[in-house]
Amino acid sequence: MTKPAKMKSALLADLLELGGVVTEYHGRTLIRHFGDPSGEYVAATEAAAVFDRSHRARLTVSGRSPGQMLSGLLTGRIPEAPSSDNSVTNGTGTYHAVLTAKGKMISDLWAYRLGNEEREVYLLDVPVAGLSGLREHLQRFLPPRLATVNDVSAETAAISVVGPDSILMLARLALGRSVEQASLDTAGEGAWFCSGAPESSSDFPSDGTMVVRTEEVWPNAWTVFGPADALRALWLELAAEGAKPSGLGVWTTLRVEAGRPAFGTDMDENTLPPEVGHVARAIDHTKGCYTGQEVIVRIRDRGHVNKHLRLLDLGDMPAPRCGSELIASDGSGKVVGNLTSVVQSPRAQGVVALGYVRRGVSTVFLGDRSVVVDETED
């Protein structure tokens, strides 16, 4: 495996010149906002906002049998080869957890099949908090003669465009109108498009960028992957067309409002996928064996987990700190949960949070406030 990517986004210097205010996130320097967080939220929910997502790692896996090797490590089904008509290439990525033998999460990730019938290449989109553990796991279990991993994070970038106008902008600026807007309108999570046909000698599409539907935040959202220079130019084009440069603060708000957990914040190396609601999304019970499968099947067939991640509406209370304990409402004083992400939500007109709550608990106390828990099972 090649050495880790640099610890800064390839776009960071350009975004600092635009007035970006920085923050640290799992060892990476990110833009928190561009001086107008409220305006950024309005743009993302009513027009279009553009976010730098290059702090996430991008790994390619290629070789003689990369898909077969990855299948034994990823919980979901390996994505199929993309289709192409020489003007448009499209495919569908799949979401996964990567587990220890005890069923605990090493990381989550998205996998996309690139290349063509002659060259099998996978792009892995990995959260920075899970990168170190994932890298060690891949080094241990992927035989180099069958699958080679390259970290391409330093020479590539990722940006996300969020908002009602995002489809129209990307159809014109990133895809050159080669993809019908109707196809984008109906695309499901993980669907991706690029202009042109894939090249057998390249890990990325021939035009350098791929546009992927994401539901990590609300409302409509798309992530674009490609060479750093191409995405730097695309960022400037999007901003010139009215997409508002936005930062991690608003992204986090949109993510929590959408109820989507982030690895390293809402889940970590002690998390079982059923605890975080990832069974339907990340686990394919019909595929072949993968590391940790025995534990997941045992939970499905003969047991349950003791806690679940919930989206909690905290109303008009002052925003509590992440990690705040949730107390049983039966007067016992027992701790029955904790908060992992907390945001001030314009959508809910109050504070919303993600947090773990023990199974079967329907009401908790946070300080002196009673909070109702929506008890739903994955």
Per-residue pLDDT of 146-161, as tens digits, reads: 999 999 999 999 999 9
Compute the mean pLDDT over every residue in the chain, rounded to the nearest whole number.
93
Distance CA 59, CA 187 (A): 24
| pLDDT of 193 strictly over 90 | yes
Residue 203: the pLDDT is 64
Sign of CA dihedral 103, 106, 110, 116: negative
Q: Residues 358-378: what's their mean pLDDT?
A: 88
28-33 vs 21-25, strand pairing mode: antiparallel
| pLDDT for 202 | 60
pLDDT of residue 6: 46
**What tokens does 103 get?**
């069923």
Average pLDDT over residues 308-329: 97
> From the CB of residue 268, how many other CB atoms can be counted at a distance below 10 Å?
16
- Closest by alpha carbon to 55, among 117, 142, 131? 131
**pLDDT for position 23:** 97
Q: Is the pTM of this model over 0.85?
A: yes
CATH code that applies to domain 273-372: 2.40.30.160
CATH of domain 12-253: 3.30.1360.120
pLDDT in tens, 23-50: 999 999 999 999 999 999 999 999 999 9
Q: Are 190 and 123 in contact (CB under 8 A)?
A: no
Binned at pLDDT 50, 70 and 90, residue 204 comes out as: low
| Residue spans of alpha helices (H) in the chain | 12-17, 37-46, 66-71, 128-141, 166-173, 181-185, 228-240, 248-257, 279-282, 293-302
Least confident of 3-7, 42-46, 258-262, 359-363: 3-7
| Residue 224 pLDDT greater than 80, yes or no | yes
Phi-psi group of 227: left, alpha or beta (phi > 0 → left; psi -120 to 50 → alpha; rest → beta): beta
Does residue 164 register a pLDDT over 60? yes
What confidence category does residue 327 fall into, taking pLDDT thresholds of 50, 70 and 90?
very high
Residue 88 near residue 81 (C-beta atoms within 8 A): no
Amino acid at 328: A
Model confidence at 7: pLDDT above 70: no
At 100 the pLDDT is 98
So what's the pLDDT on residue 182? 84
Give CA separation, 366 vs 328, 333, 345, 347, in Å.
9, 11, 18, 21
334: β partners = none
The residues of the chain that CATH labels 3.30.1360.120 are 12-253
Assess contact for 170 and 184: CB atoms under 8 A: yes
* Residue 217 near residue 251 (C-beta atoms within 8 A): yes
- Closest CA relative to residue 78, chosen from 118, 114, 32: 114
| Mean pLDDT, range 222-233, rounded to an integer | 94
pLDDT score recorded for residue 150: 95
Q: Would you state the structure tokens that stand for residue 194, as one six-digit string?
A: 């690029």
Quick: pLDDT tens for 263-298. Answer: 999 999 999 999 999 899 999 999 999 999 999 999
Res 4: pLDDT: 45
Rg of the chain over all Cα atoms, to the nearest angstrom: 21
Range(s) within the chain of domains with CATH label 2.40.30.160: 273-372
Binned at pLDDT 50, 70 and 90, residue 177 comes out as confident
Confidence band, pLDDT 50/70/90 cuts, at residue 96? very high
Answer whether residue 72 shows pLDDT above 80. yes
